[in-house]
Amino acid sequence: MVRQLNGEKGADLMVVSAFGRGHWLAQEASAKGLKVTLVDSSSLLGRWESEDWQGPFGIFSEAELKPSQRSQLSHEGPVIPVKEGLVVWPRSGPLDTRGWVAGVQTQNIEPLRQLQEHLQAWTGASESTKEKLRKRACDMSFSQSWLIHLAHQWAAKVHCPQHQGALCADPLPVFSEHGLRRSSRNGLKRSLKECEKRGVKVLADCQPWDIAIERGLWRGLEVRGEWSGALTAESIVWTLTSEETSRFSRGLAQILFPSGPLEPMWVWVRYSLRWELGEYSKILPNHLILFEDERLPWAHENFLSVVRGAQTSAVDVWVKIPAHVRFQRHFLEAMGESILALLRKKIPFSQPALVAHPKEHTYEHELLGPSLYPVFDSPALVRLKKLRLPNLFYCSADTAGARLDVWDRFCAQEACLGETLGYLVALGKNRKEEPNDISLQSP
């Protein structure tokens, strides 16, 4: 028998969340008149630093987010505008997307021109038109289309060869306004406080342990941690991946994911560097992608996402590596040296120095846990089996959305909220409005 929280009537919706993934959804559901409980497991998912939560992608088209979504981001931490936009630096030299030479480069550099035309045609296009655009990009010469494939593949949660990148996911709008997140632990606390201010019951530092199923419906969740016990709700949104779920409870993971936890094919890891550039530090872009050679596979030291930190010389370098070498220290050390070599090659007078290897170099898997930015093999992702219940909804990297960036996170939450409200409306639980006003177009 599942007991209720403090003897209260069960919630309409429960959101199991980590690192802010379900905060916006919980607040929106509460604003629509639902009684919402949020179970936050962030502190129990490994010894990550807040910089690891941010990821390698930044935020595109922030102005097109809903006001409530921008507010959610502001509580998590400031978004620093990148005035020059994203800069891509292949073997031939830097390419601007919004800087002062962007207009001239777009007119005279064929891959940039093709990318701009592709993104313009993509915006507002029908699904059939988008399929034609994908095919056109794959049929083009790679020397002309590689930036199109980059826009599609960079933040995708599935891996594709770079010449098929357009098949991975919708493209990032790389010519749009761009910003960088500055996440922090205090930001996470502020976000949870904001959830409480908006009527959400928050249970922090709790791990999900077991669920109750009755007559083909989810009925309750047992949690352990700062508050231990059983919770009930009419519906539940699950934002943890199958690997994260298994970290908390293998028995629970076997119920929710009968095929077993899905292990990624690749993962993004973060190196912390100090990059002394002297007087040239003022002109180094705040966010750039570095290639040794864009014709080679987009991984390892050939594909670096370089994000400047709050301090002048502080730099985070994100690199995509095979998941099976994630905890091999010799590999991570050699990768660090390769990263430094590429930075010296790109800017010969600079003095990059390694400050810290990825957390995988310090901690074993048992202490660190699953990657926060996994990239999956497409056939394996298709084979992932989930428990299907009418009032159980999934919203994690391996179950929802096609990309790993912030915009797609909101898209996935909004789609999940629409499904949840649809179910609750049928039960007469939504007291304020129908969910047909929910719409978020991918940029």
**Confidence (pLDDT) at 2:** 40
Q: Quick count: other Cβ atoms within 10 Å of Cβ 101?
A: 12
Handedness of CA 58, 61, 65, 67 (dihedral sign): positive
**Confidence (pLDDT) at 77:** 87
In this structure, which amino acid lies at residue 116?
A: Q
CA distances (Å), 364 to each of 144, 242, 268, 329, 367, in order? 43, 19, 16, 10, 6
- CA 419, CA 17: separation in Å to the nearest integer? 17
Q: Domain extents for the chain? A: 5-77+183-260+379-437
Residue 442 near residue 409 (C-beta atoms within 8 A): no
CA–centroid distance for 56 within its chain: 9
Local confidence pLDDT in tens for the 443 residues of the chain: 344 444 445 899 999 999 999 999 999 999 999 999 999 999 999 999 999 999 999 999 888 899 999 999 988 888 899 988 999 999 999 999 988 888 889 989 999 999 999 999 999 999 999 999 999 999 999 999 999 999 999 999 999 999 999 999 999 999 999 999 888 899 999 999 999 999 999 999 999 999 999 999 999 999 999 889 999 999 999 999 999 999 999 999 999 999 999 999 999 999 999 998 887 777 788 999 999 999 999 999 999 999 998 888 899 999 999 999 999 999 999 999 999 999 999 988 888 999 999 999 999 999 999 999 999 999 999 999 999 999 999 999 999 999 999 999 999 999 999 999 999 998 874 444 444 443 333 33
> CATH top-level class for 5-77+183-260+379-437?
alpha beta
In this structure, which amino acid lies at residue 301?
A: E
Closest-CA residue to 290 (of 346, 353, 351): 346
**Confidence (pLDDT) at 310:** 80
Closest-CA residue to 305 (of 58, 50, 9): 58
Report which DSSP code applies to 435: G
CA distances (Å), 47 to each of 42, 120, 314, 429, in order? 10, 42, 21, 39
**Confidence (pLDDT) at 300:** 96
The DSSP bridge pattern shows strands 36-40 and 201-203 to be parallel
Any bridge partners for residue 375, and if so which? 266
E strand or H helix that includes residue 330: helix 329-346
Residue 267 near residue 43 (C-beta atoms within 8 A): no
* Residues with Cβ within 8 Å of residue 391, at least 6 apart in sequence: 217, 218, 234, 235, 236, 423
**Confidence (pLDDT) at 443:** 34
- CA 416, CA 77: separation in Å to the nearest integer? 24
pTM of the predicted structure, to 2 decimals: 0.92
**Confidence (pLDDT) at 6:** 43
**Confidence (pLDDT) at 9:** 58
